[in-house]
Chain A
Amino acid sequence: MGDPVFGIEKLDKDLKGIPEKKLVLFSASPSVGNEVFGYQLIYNNIKAGSKVLLLLNRTSPDAYLGDMEDYGFPVENKLTILDSYSSITGVIPTGKPHIISVDNPYNKDEVFHKLLSELDKGYDLLVVDSFSLLIDFFDFQTGLSLLEDIKKKLEEKNTSGVILFTDWNYEAKSIDSLIKAVNSTVEIKGVEKRVIFGQYFAVIKCDWTEGKTFSSVLFKAVKPGGIKIYFPKILVTGPTDSGKSSFIHSASKDAVSVDKLGGTIALDHGNLEFDGYKADLFGTPGQERFDPLLKLLGGEAIGVFLIVDSTKPEQFPRAIEMLRKTEAYGLPIVVVANKADLKGALSLKEVEEKLHLDNEIGLVQTVAEDLSKVDPNQPTKLKKEGVDKALSLLFKQLT
């Protein structure tokens, strides 16, 4: 049997599992959570035949195992749990040999002694969920001193360790000491503006991979399924004939449209690479009869281009309605005022006023590359300058 694994392909590929005697910290921001990393890791190691010990103080063993099962990670009785939670609530699971009770979770001597003597029995992997709660129960210094004892024990017993931690804005000095004390740190954070529109993890430290650097990846915790890495989705929406397909085709290298007689009836899609970013553009149909699709297409988008026809202010309420129906409010938005070179087109300021836009929303004009080549049944090639400006404004908001 090899070293314990993370059970998350990207981490196992980058770090080659968790070597024995090494301690890994999963440090999450409070809006994101890290428990699913723990579930997936425990499940995959138990499946591989490893002996796993969990120090649990966040919830009851039954609730924890039930949640694991909901994520598709059943471990039955194969996980040994040091239960440092139940006696606080008075509901102690009985007759379960794989659950060891801590009588008083507020007594650090008992918690620490039971943990270290259980590790003496020989485990392949220790998981602590949650280390921040241990710190909150006692104090940061006490938590760090327990960590030193844990490290000695891992060394002695050839065990690997993982601690799950929520960073509740503790002192920077304390966090530095914690990161110094572990062999590897994986940060889990939200891509946050007004709403959390994405979450990512990144390896910020690893002392067994010799100067290798790692990229951060976006992920979703799926029930069932666990941690799934995904690629960002940017929505392109707006009223009929405003130029959504034209924008997607102009911005992407390989766009496709599912259309009929010029108007998109189902979907536009394009992959784009711009300024070091990669993204998928998804277009929505503009006609009202396809509105039920909008929410579906808007799901999981992390940013939005709202395309409007500068010559048709009467469509602006519809544009805002579409934004609402895609549930894209609160996401970074760039409004693209297309057809800005046509007769009767509103100025940028007029578009801004008529759409009642927030100051934070970017606004860009686009025009056709060559008006003489415009075919109403085909996407029009838009001038690069305006398209690039729109992309750059949105990516600036996203990063």
Chain B
Amino acid sequence: MAAIKAGFKSFDEAAGGLEMQKIYSLIGNKESGKEEFLYKLVSSALSSKTPVVYVTTSRSYSDLINEFNSRHLPVSQYLGADFMIFDDFSKISSPNAQDTNYAKILNGPLDLTGLSVALSAADGNYLKEGRSVFNVIDSVSNLLVYSNPSTIFRFLQFICGRSKMSGATTLFSLDSEMHPPEVTETIKSMSDGVISLKLDNGARYFTFTGSTKEILKWTELN
């Protein structure tokens, strides 16, 4: 099955990337390097012509683009046709923020219906073009700040179902330190594959469970 390369040599050599049309969780604490991993993964997906819908709940779409740029992972050339950003953050402080041709401004983290409608429509539009999309929800932890866990679980279950139906690949990013272990475990159980990251003595390590090539031992990410 086709896979999205993560852009990290050790990860791609050992795991072969992320098999498409599956659900993944990316889990780690603040220092674990989740963002670095995620941005490289998205950049790699785009360069291999996989369209990406990126849901940002913790920063505006323009800040997100700056994050890519500051890591020398330019994404500007993909914005629009291949790279759509669903900004679920800006309306909190700027209620009149307007959509652009590559950024859809959603109502904010409480309006899960708005998010699910927008994601279902975007995945459907890519599928109609015969393309399988990569959805990133960055991050589920932020959604959990505003709604109780059972609400978020119901929402994620729905997203998983639609993702499977439309042949999309979906990744949930989660900060393990922000939630009780049972919340993290429930989100892991909804995923086909779980990528865990950690920082140890200045080096970053990963495990990858649930994939065809599981990496159960902490392996340095480089």
**Chain A positions near chain B (C-beta within 8 angstroms):** 28, 30-35, 57-63, 66-67, 85, 88-89, 91, 130, 132-133, 136-137, 166, 168-170, 190, 192-197, 324, 327-331
**Chain B positions near chain A (C-beta within 8 angstroms):** 91-93, 95-96, 107-108, 110-114, 116-117, 120-121, 123-125, 127-130, 146-148, 150-151, 154-155, 157-158, 162, 165-167
Residue of A nearest to B155 (CB): A168
Provided the pairs A30-B158, A169-B158 are in contact, do residues A194 and B113 lie with their beta carbons within 8 angstroms?
Answer: no
State how many angstroms separate the Cβ of B209 from the closest Cβ of chain A: 27
Q: What's the Cα separation between A31 and B130 when bound, in Å?
A: 20
Contact A168 B154 (CB under 8 A): yes
Decide if the interface of chain B is mainly helix, strand, loop or mixed: helix
Contact A91 B113 (CB under 8 A): no
Contact B95 A194 (CB under 8 A): no
Partner of B124, one of A59, A67, A85, A196: A196
Contact A169 B127 (CB under 8 A): no
Residue of A nearest to B127 (CB): A330
Partner of B110, one of A32, A85, A169, A331: A85
State how many angstroms separate the Cβ of A129 from the closest Cβ of chain B: 10
Q: What's the Cα separation between A193 and B128 when bound, in Å?
A: 12
Which chain B positions have C-beta within 8 A of A194? 124, 127, 165-167
State how many angstroms separate the Cβ of A199 from the closest Cβ of chain B: 10
Partner of A66, one of B96, B127, B155: B96
State how many angstroms separate the Cβ of B100 from the closest Cβ of chain A: 14
Which chain B positions have C-beta within 8 A of A168? 112, 151, 154-155, 158
16 A-B pairs with C-beta separation under 8 A: A31-B158, A58-B110, A60-B92, A62-B95, A63-B107, A88-B146, A89-B108, A136-B150, A136-B151, A166-B113, A192-B165, A194-B166, A194-B167, A195-B124, A196-B124, A329-B127
Partner of B128, one of A33, A85, A195: A195
Contact A195 B95 (CB under 8 A): no
Which chain A positions have C-beta within 8 A of B150? 136
State how many angstroms separate the Cβ of A3 from the closest Cβ of chain B: 28
Contact A133 B91 (CB under 8 A): no
